[in-house]
Structure 1
Amino acid sequence: MEIIGRVKKLFDIQKFDSGFRKREIVLTTEEPYPQNILIEFIQDKVDLLGSISPEDKIKVFINIRGREWTNPEGIIKYFNSIQGWKIEEIQQKNSKKQSTPSLSSDDFDDLPF
């Protein structure tokens, strides 16, 4: 699956004593009813976010994960997470627009007058 949108927020990398690394982003979809989607990148996939900045338009390839958890009272709860595994940059906020080429008198030599 994939999600396309603009990066709304980049969180700091979280490092745990076990060596586990995680970084999350919020991606805002561009549709009539935009959604703010939290996507997590884990372990070596954290490095994919190195060149990403807020407002960048990106396509994120994702997997949806689900898990079951039993709380101390014995009640079973279910949680979902969205994990990113690949990013394609569509457009960056700070990308320079191509300038219109300047015209010179040589460009008009073929005019009939």
Structure 2
Amino acid sequence: MEVTGKIKMIDQTKEVGSAGFKKRDVVVTTDEQYPQSILVQFVQDKCDLLNSFQVGDAVKIDINLRGREWINPQGEAVYFNTIQGWRIGKAESAVPAGQAPPAPAAAAFPPATSLNEDEPDDLPF
């Protein structure tokens, strides 16, 4: 799966827990009719992948969806989801309308040929 859009926010790397677990969050705003701000989390050695990006960069992030269960002190099961990034790269930008290569002139195409009267017309319409 992937998420594409512009980086809205990049957080600093944080260490969580006593085991030295590292995580770093990035928020990407999608470019669609109803833009979404998606939080993507990079963990451990993948945190460094964000070092070469900055706010405003158009990116494509390859992601995995992660889910986990936690039993709270009352004994009830609570579920959490995480969007975890594992690869990030610059998004291929579309060519702006004013910079698109010009369409070839009509003269560049050969004229359509008329039907050959010797061939049967087998079209049903």
Question: What SS is found at the alignment partner of 1:72?
Answer: coil
The answer to whether the 8 A contact 1:26-1:36 is kept is yes
Question: What SS is found at the alignment partner of 2:91?
Answer: strand
Moved over 4 A (4+): none
> Scaled by the length of structure 1, what TM-score is found?
0.77
Q: How does 1:88-107 map to 2 (within 5 A)?
A: 88-90=89-91
Which amino acid letter does the alignment assign opposite residue 4 of structure 1? T
Q: Which runs of 5+ in 2 are unaligned?
A: 94-125
The answer to whether the 8 A contact 1:24-1:39 is kept is yes
> Scaled by the length of structure 2, what TM-score is found?
0.70
Which amino acid letter does the alignment assign opposite residue 6 of structure 1? K
Q: How does 1:26-105 map to 2 (within 5 A)?
A: 26-90=27-91
Q: Which has the higher strand share?
A: 1
Give the aligned partner of residue 25 of structure 1.
26
| Superposed CA RMSD | 1.4
Task: Work out which of the two has the higher radius of gyration on C-alpha atoms and give 1 or 2.
Answer: 2
Deviation at 1:90, TM superposition (A): 2.0
Which amino acid letter does the alignment assign opposite residue 13 of structure 2? I
The answer to whether the 8 A contact 1:56-1:91 is kept is no
How many pairs align? 92
Identical residues among aligned pairs (%)? 49
Q: Structure 2: how far apart are the matches of 1:84 and 1:53?
A: 16
Deviation at 1:75, TM superposition (A): 1.1
